[in-house]
Amino acid sequence: MEQIYTIPVNEAFENCQMNGCDCPLCKLYDTLEKKEVDMSLGSSMMEPNVRIEMNEKGFCRDHFSKMLEKNNRLSLALILESHLPEVKGKLNGGFFDAIFGGRAKKSYKNADKIVNSCFICERIDNHFEKMIETVVLLYDKESGFREKLRAQKYFCLPHYALLLDTAGKELDKRKYEEFYKDLSSVENKFLEKTVGDVSWFCKKFDYRYDSEPWYDAKDAPERAIRFLSGGVGKSK
């Protein structure tokens, strides 16, 4: 367990526990993403090894959009100034591709590779994988952290699956069963209420229930989607 990740993991779980906010792992991911977007447009982008990696991997549509939102157009233009010529070279192929007639096939492979890679995504994934491992290992080693996990509002379905997969690799059979029991208890409590709220939301469109109160059902569809997909339509 890398100590560098224990502080942000504990802080995310504590904040969500106190404030009753959504999936703590979504919060961690959002924090990581903002940090990496800022880093990509900051002084790090002038470091030769970083720029080489940016030129090679490029960025996905979502992270290009997030960089544009930062309104730091000069930094983004400097990145594009060195990235675009590399893209051009890969699409046109090399000397031997032209000689032996493999230019179109090579161009397709290179284009597909660029489209499906992202400098920011890869950096986030590397850190986030270690954070997931930290969650599991903190649960294994610290009783206080187990209480934090049990006190969460919910874990979105993608992160629930990721936690169980990681726990299966890191924990022995007995501790894995305990982890699953605690994690599924959090999920089932949230799901039981959300299922009822979605049903009540639907009933409120029936004239027979028009005079009934909404209770907690007004945001039930958004809440259900955040649980199922993680991070979509976040309210907090």
pLDDT in tens, 86-125: 999 889 865 445 545 567 888 888 899 999 999 999 999 9
How open is the CA angle 122-27-217, to the nearest 5 degrees?
130
Is 2 part of a structural domain of the chain? Answer: no
Q: By the 8 A CB rule, do 115 and 134 touch? A: no
Give the C-alpha separation, 195 to 220, whole Å: 8
Number of structural domains, the chain? 1
Is 236 part of a structural domain of the chain? Answer: no
**Range(s) of the domain holding residue 49:** 9-229
Is 3 part of a structural domain of the chain? Answer: no
Is 105 part of a structural domain of the chain? Answer: yes
Distances (CA, A) of 3 to 130, 138, 159: 10, 11, 21
Predicted confidence (pLDDT) at residue 209 exceeds the cutoff of 70: yes
Contacts with 201 (C-beta within 8 Å, 6 or more apart), sequence order: 214, 217, 218, 220, 221
Using the Cα atoms of residue 73, residue 78, residue 84 and residue 87 in order, give the sign of their dihedral: negative
Is 234 part of a structural domain of the chain? Answer: no
pTM of the entire structure?
A: 0.86
Is 225 part of a structural domain of the chain? Answer: yes
pLDDT given at position 97:
54
Is 187 part of a structural domain of the chain? Answer: yes
Q: CA nearest 84: which of 64, 104, 100?
A: 64
Give the C-alpha separation, 125 to 214, whole Å: 40
Tokens of residue 110, six digits = 């290179």
Mean pLDDT confidence for 181-186: 98
Mean pLDDT confidence for 174-203: 98
Is 173 part of a structural domain of the chain? Answer: yes
Q: Mind listing the pLDDT tens digit for each residue in 129-144?
A: 999 999 999 999 999 9
